[in-house]
Amino acid sequence: MKRNKKERQTLLIETIKENPFITDEDLADHFSVSVQTIRLDRLELSIPELRERIKNVAEKTFEDEVRSLPIDEVIGEMIDIQLDQTAISIFDVKADHVFKRNQIARGHHLFAQANSLAVAVINDELALTAKANIHFTRSVKQGERVIAKARVVSIEKDRTRVEVQSYVNNECVFKGEFDMYRSHMMEQ
């Protein structure tokens, strides 16, 4: 059913409010219009693109939960967290993250994503990396999306052990085991 522009835009606002993670392509299918029409509608209505919506939802959702560092200091975009249990972030590899000669991501970006996720998952005011054992299993190229998944393995009085695995298209590209100091250790 064809709708006029005003009707479509009103429904577009409601649809995105209900599901901020819906893509422009899905919206175009839903409203039987072109992707360009959806983009123009979003622009007119000052609705950010999907990537920005995900970031906004994550920041609102997680800023009160993450205690060990500000949410904007997590490398990548936090998409899920259960403190002292699990966390997930997404990192899109761009031109400024790679070596120019071969477009392979510099390792410190993948490490920073994993390490900041290991810090963020800890339910304490301060968490510091005491030791990390890391392994890169394949190189990551510009344009790839890295999904890092952290899992708390053990919690002791002053330490937490966190395992992080990072994937590109379900293929493991990085593994890390992080021994983290918890803040109450620092106060003693």
187 to 125, 178, 184: CA distances (angstroms): 11, 21, 5
Domains (ranges, CATH) in the chain? 5-47 (1.10.10.10), 67-187 (3.10.129.10)
Q: Going residue by residue through the chain (188 aa), what tens digit of pLDDT does each one get?
A: 678 999 999 999 998 888 777 888 889 999 999 999 999 998 898 888 876 766 665 555 555 556 556 656 778 888 888 889 999 999 999 999 999 999 999 999 999 999 999 998 988 888 889 999 999 999 999 999 999 999 999 998 889 999 999 999 999 999 999 999 987 644 44
- Alpha carbon of residue 124 to chain centroid: 20
